[in-house]
């Protein structure tokens, strides 16, 4: 663990993540989750959960409770149906940002059921999504839900788009809002060999959702790898020959 104010970059390789693998779910966890617990790996800054999930067609998470967490879901491929006890429902697809504020308590389900809703057989594919949880500023708030299509901001080579944020600097961006004033999530579809500066913040969590990138330090991160950066400044990453999709949590 680095001392406060000391620059640090810690890389977590994809194969070192905890893995939950059952008949309908292949889930890889960046931090302790469910039955997997390591007291040295419970969170990074405000980011408590970062799960990389693949759910089979017709399957998913039945109705279950959450409380006092800002939950952001980012679909990589396929589509996911959300329903909750506040009467919210929606189909989440790539480029559609979704946030659920659990607040004082909410029940919801997440199913790979979009093919049942549309009646289109080719939708009977697995859904691949990244789900991330951050702590809210204030416990016990009113539960809430928001979704927003940001595909126009996610064109290849267009830099980083703000997906979900509570940061004041992102107030005027096209993004969903989270009830945490010290954190924001950005996404980038990097073109082959594109160089991208990451925001400067006391903590950054970089997750490579697809492709590969090179850090300025010379470290290569492949699909599923992540880097936890503390006091590292606004460093740059460069996409590999096939490009990359990255998710970056900026935390103050």
What number of CA atoms fall less than 13 Å from residue 18's CA on the CB side? 16
Band the pLDDT of 138: cuts 50, 70, 90: very high
pLDDT confidence of residue 155: 81
Per-residue pLDDT tens for 211-238?
Answer: 999 999 899 999 999 999 999 878 999 9
Q: Say which CATH superfamily domain 8-251 falls into.
A: Jelly Rolls (2.60.120.10)
| Backbone φ, ψ for residue 182 (5° rounding) | -120, 20
What residue ranges do the domains of the chain occupy?
A: 8-251
Give me the sheet containing 106-111, strands edge to edge: 60-66, 106-111, 80-84, 89-92
| Backbone φ, ψ for residue 173 (5° rounding) | -90, 160
Residue 209 clears pLDDT 60, i.e. is over it: yes
Q: What is the mean pLDDT of the chain?
A: 93
| Backbone φ, ψ for residue 86 (5° rounding) | -90, 0
Q: What is the mean pLDDT of residues 78-95?
A: 93
Band the pLDDT of 190: cuts 50, 70, 90: very high
| Backbone φ, ψ for residue 143 (5° rounding) | -60, 150
| Backbone φ, ψ for residue 135 (5° rounding) | -70, 145
Contact 90, 82 (CB under 8 A): yes
| Cα gap 247→191, rounded to integer Å | 15
Q: What is the mean pLDDT of residues 88-107?
A: 95
Within 8 A by CB and 6+ apart from 3, the residues are: none
Band the pLDDT of 141: cuts 50, 70, 90: very high
Q: How far is CA 223 from the centre of its chain?
A: 14
Per-residue pLDDT tens for 21-70?
Answer: 999 999 999 999 999 999 999 999 999 999 999 999 999 999 999 999 99
Within 8 A by CB and 6+ apart from 152, the residues are: none
């Amino acid at each position: 663990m680095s001392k406060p104010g000391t620059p640090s970059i810690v890389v977590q390789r994809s194969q070192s993540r905890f893995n939950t693998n059952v008949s309908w779910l292949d889930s890889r966890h960046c931090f302790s989750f469910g039955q997997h617990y390591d007291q040295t790996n419970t969170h990074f800054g405000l980011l408590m959960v970062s799960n990389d999930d693949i759910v089979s067609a017709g399957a998913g998470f039945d109705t279950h409770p959450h409380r006092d967490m800002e939950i952001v879901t980012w679909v990589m491929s396929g589509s996911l149906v959300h329903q909750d006890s506040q009467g919210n429902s929606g189909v989440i697809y790539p480029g559609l940002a979704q946030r659920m504020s659990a607040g004082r308590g909410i029940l919801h389900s997440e199913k790979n059921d979009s093919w049942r809703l549309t009646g289109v057989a080719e939708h009977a594919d697995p859904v691949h999504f990244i789900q991330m949880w951050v702590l809210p500023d204030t416990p016990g708030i009113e539960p809430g839900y928001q979704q927003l299509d940001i595909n126009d901001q996610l064109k290849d080579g267009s830099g980083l788009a703000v997906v979900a944020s509570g940061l004041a600097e992102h107030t005027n961006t096209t993004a969903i809002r989270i009830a945490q004033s010290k954190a924001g999530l950005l996404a980038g579809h990097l073109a082959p060999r594109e160089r991208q500066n990451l925001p400067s913040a006391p903590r950054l969590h970089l997750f490579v959702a697809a492709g590969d990138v090179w850090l300025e330090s010379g470290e290569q991160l492949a699909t599923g790898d992540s880097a936890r950066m503390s006091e590292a400044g606004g460093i740059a990453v460069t996409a590999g020959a096939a490009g990359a999709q990255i998710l970056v949590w900026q935390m103050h």
